[in-house]
Amino acid sequence: MTYELYYWTGIQGRGEYVRLALEEAGAAYTDMARVEGDGVIEALAEAIDTPSFAPPVLKHGDVVVGQTSAILFYLGGTLDLAPLDERLKLWTHQTQLTIADFVLEGHDVHHPLGAGKYYEEQKPEALRRAKEFRDERVPKFLKWFETILARNPAGPEFLAGDRLSYADLSLFQVMEGLHYAFPKLMGRIGREFERVEDLRERVRARPNISAYLRSERRLAPNENDLFRHYPELDG
């Protein structure tokens, strides 16, 4: 049964976390808006009892699910990308939710006054928020990922247990975003988080991920995306 992903065209965005899971698993899926246009997103929401507040939305047979972390929770089961043990399954999900918080903070750096205004309308505020993000938040999040990798009883190869989960793919994607948006910051502090950087490289080298990253399906990062490279916010 083919998966249908409903997400805006033109950016990696939150849809990318879903794409990485589908690509790693070699699942058959259609990126609906890229095929039919962004209008399919609203059309789906109008047609069902359980419309999502915002994309991404995944349709898989009778299941229609929104919220990136909930989608990945579902895919963790159907694509075998989560631990089977219930405690580790919950831990994987908890880790994903923290990654989602990190992603949102990465977005709010350039939109501290809300998504309804352009970056150019809130640049002084973005400069102030970026300083806290660079000095406090990025190190705090990365230290947490480093700590949980170090404490994993199965070793530091994966975030949870002894095999790949969607959370590992998501951490890869966040790190890609951070390096794109904040090359100076990451050049300075990245090596302090060796286990996180190693995980990123292992994910990148996986055959299906590697093939995906070289394909046309992988969009380049840009300044409409969640993580944006504004040199004045880096440092």
| Contact footprint for a copy of itself (CB under 8 A) | 49-53, 62-63, 65-67, 69-70, 73-74, 87, 90-91, 93-94, 97-98, 101, 104, 108, 112-114, 116-117, 122, 125, 128-129, 132-133, 136-137, 141, 144, 147-148, 151-153
Nearest approach, Cβ of residue 114 and a copy of itself (Å)? 4
Nearest approach, Cβ of residue 205 and a copy of itself (Å)? 26
What whole-number distance in Å separates Cα of residue 210 and Cα of residue 1? 24
Question: Phi, psi at residue 66, to the nearest 5°?
Answer: -115, 180
Amino acid identity, residue 196? V
What whole-number distance in Å separates Cα of residue 110 and Cα of residue 126? 5
Q: In Å, how far are 148, 169, 189 from 154, measured between CA atoms?
A: 11, 18, 26
What whole-number distance in Å separates Cα of residue 207 and Cα of residue 202? 10
What whole-number distance in Å separates Cα of residue 46 and Cα of residue 40? 10
**C-beta closer to a copy of itself: residue 73 or 182:** 73
**C-beta closer to a copy of itself: residue 75 or 164:** 75
Nearest approach, Cβ of residue 217 and a copy of itself (Å)? 26
**C-beta closer to a copy of itself: residue 121 or 192:** 121
**C-beta closer to a copy of itself: residue 102 or 221:** 102
